[in-house]
Amino acid sequence: MAVPFVQDWDVVQTLGEGAYGEVRLLVNRQTEEAVAVKVIDTSQAKECAENVKKEVCIHKPDVGMAEKDAHRFFQQLIAAVEYLHDFGITHRDIKPENILLDDKDNLKLTDFGLATMFRFKGRERRLNRLCGTLPYVAPELLSQTEYRAQPADIWACGIVLTAMLAGGKIQNLKIIHTSVVQYHMTAMATRS
């Protein structure tokens, strides 16, 4: 049964629970648009408000975070990606939207819908499927028919770090990405 939430929006169900609140499914009464909303109870713990600020900094690219926090989260992101790569798995869609923080403020890499094996029994294969989210996609995915998995994931981690640190200055990320891709493609054509 739908419960009124805010103007024109009803809570349909709770999708999940975390340390500080719930994720709820809301449906607009007029348009029938469905959205997921994270509802946070900041009174549950004194560090809750600070943790919410950090999570916003990871997910919202127009808010920069302290270098110390970005450094720690980046180390955790690289450790998570290295762990995957040690097992021959590539994520292929590393971006802020696929990064969560747990109740101890530890980074968790999520959404493995595009992940694939690039190494099995010691044999590594090159990938050829263009996937991921611009502007986090490495230039070689756009300019080559085949690419190595690991550098593509590491490129995306670097863009996530840039987004964490630069905040609002990252608004031109698509322009920067386009410039890098054009440079990379020109360099490839020159070598041919």
DSSP state letters, 55-102: HHHHH-TTS---HHHHHHHHHHHHHHHHHHHHTTEE-S--SGGGEEE-
Hey, what CATH topology would domain 3-40 get?
A: Phosphorylase Kinase; domain 1 (3.30.200)
Domain boundaries, the chain: 3-40, 62-191
131 — phi, psi (to 5°)?
-150, 165
pLDDT computed for residue 134 by the predictor: 80
CA–CA separation, 3 and 11 (whole Å): 5
| pLDDT tens string 5-64 | 778 888 888 877 766 677 777 788 888 888 777 777 767 666 666 666 666 666 665 667
Q: Is residue 189 scored above 50 in pLDDT?
A: yes
Q: Same fold for the domain at 3-40 and the one at 62-191?
A: no
pLDDT computed for residue 168 by the predictor: 47
- Show the CA angle centred on residue 105, arms to residues 137 and 71, nearest 5°: 55
CATH of domain 62-191: 1.10.510.10
| pLDDT tens string 123-181 | 999 999 988 888 888 888 887 789 999 999 999 999 899 888 877 444 455 555 555 55
Binding site members: 38
pTM of the model: 0.65
Binding site members for ATP: 38
Where in the sequence numbering do the catalytic residues fall?
Answer: 93
The answer for 105, left when phi > 0, alpha when psi is -120 to 50, beta otherwise, is left
| pLDDT tens string 172-181 | 555 555 555 5
